[in-house]
Amino acid sequence: MTIARAHLVDTSVTRWYHCVTRCVRRAFLLGEGAEDRKLWIENRLQELAQIFSVAVGGFSVLDNHLHVLVRLDPEVADGWSDEEVVRRWGRLFPPRDGTRQPIPVGDAWVHGRLQNTAWIATARQRLQSLSWFMKCLKEPLARIANRQDGTRGAFFEGRFKSVAILDNEALLATCAYIDRHVRQKSR
């Protein structure tokens, strides 16, 4: 029986989590010689770390799965002003015009969102959520990979695995494990 991630991730116990997500249908994460996907993943992780209150401690891209070590910092998100929450969300999910094309986040859009305090509270929670962080990493990559591979449907397994890192020894071991995969792939 699966357990909701909200019950598994507890920042009062630990802030460090090792996440693993796998491709389905025997797909290769990097594709056939598609090193640009690895660069895309690296750039996307940097971008998400600037938007979310989640720090990336390390990552490794393997043939059919991805390892990401993250640190959750909810007090950072709690310190953001409402306007900063709205602007961060706008970077993540920009407003769209009638043809569904992204448009710049303008002051009118920000002001409109600032009127909805319930929406701001939800956005603030999502910007500190491990699940939303992984969703925002995986979903665009799945779309790119499906487009490149000329296919449709799921690219990643529905759920990702998250392992709580409970002490410094476990953190060091996880860092070494991820680093070992990075070194093996670079050979």
Which sequence spans correspond to the domains of the chain?
1-74+130-180, 81-126
For 69-121, write each residue's pLDDT tens digit. 999 999 999 999 999 999 999 999 998 888 988 888 899 999 999 999 999 99
Which pTM does this prediction carry?
Answer: 0.85
Given the structure tokens 């992780």, which residue do they identify?
Answer: 45
Distances (CA, A) of 64 to 20, 94, 140, 186: 11, 30, 17, 16
Based on its alpha-carbon atoms, the radius of gyration of the chain, rounded to whole angstroms, reads 18
Contact criterion met (CB below 8 Å) for 141 and 22? no
CA atoms of 85 and 93, how far apart (whole Å): 12
Give the dihedral sign, CA 84/75/177/23: negative
CATH superfamily of 1-74+130-180: Transposase IS200-like (3.30.70.1290)
